[in-house]
Amino acid sequence: MLMDSQDKNKNEWSRLINSFGFALNGLKNAIMKERNLQIHISVAVLVVILGAFFQLSYSDWALLVIVIGGMFTLELVNTSIERLVDLVTMEFHPLAKLAKDISAAAVFVFSLTAVVVGFLIFYPYMLEWFMGNF
């Protein structure tokens, strides 16, 4: 009985470790193949450097982390939808077009949101910096 529950626990752990492995594999594949994701990573790095330069507050960092994480997540979901559509059909199909276009629209809407949030976060710091330096 004790052995059974130990085996079950071990099984649960190995399933958990396996699913991390699958997720990392998906992440690696998307980063290596998706140009948009590479652009987002470069922009995120620049934004983090800018954040360090302006010494953002904890709450502003938290907002930035949510926006950057959300952007990556959405881009990964978009990539996954593109792959799924390609798996279903390589022929031209109006529904395939709609699925890809709407998925791309979701990324676009969040990108605009991220730009606005970024502006709202950085504007006061930039203003203060300009006031102090000019």
Catalogue the active-site residues: 75
* Structure-token pair, residue 121: 């976060």
Please report, in range form, the residues annotated as the binding site. 15, 34, 75, 82, 91-93, 100-101
At residue 5, what is the residue type? S
At residue 80, what is the residue type? S
Q: How far is the CB of 104 from ligand ATP (least distance, A)?
A: 5
At residue 101, what is the residue type? D
Rule CB under 6 A: say whether 48 interacts with ligand ATP: no
- Encoded one letter per residue, x for contact with ligand ATP by CB under 6 A and - for no contact, window 79-98 reads ---x------x--xx--xx-
Q: How far is the CB of 66 from ligand ATP (least distance, A)?
A: 24
Burial track 25-60 (b if 16+ CB lie within 10 A, e otherwise): eeeeebeeebeebeebbebbeebeebbeebebeeeb
* Structure-token pair, residue 71: 């952007």
* Structure-token pair, residue 23: 């997720």
Q: How far is the CB of 34 from ligand ATP (least distance, A)?
A: 6
- Count of residues binding ligand ATP (CB under 6 A)? 11
- Encoded one letter per residue, x for contact with ligand ATP by CB under 6 A and - for no contact, window 26-45 reads --------x-x---------
Q: What is the CA radius of gyration of the chain?
A: 21
Using CB under 6 A as the criterion, which residues of the chain lie in contact with ligand ATP when the complex forms? 34, 36, 82, 89, 92-93, 96-97, 100-101, 104
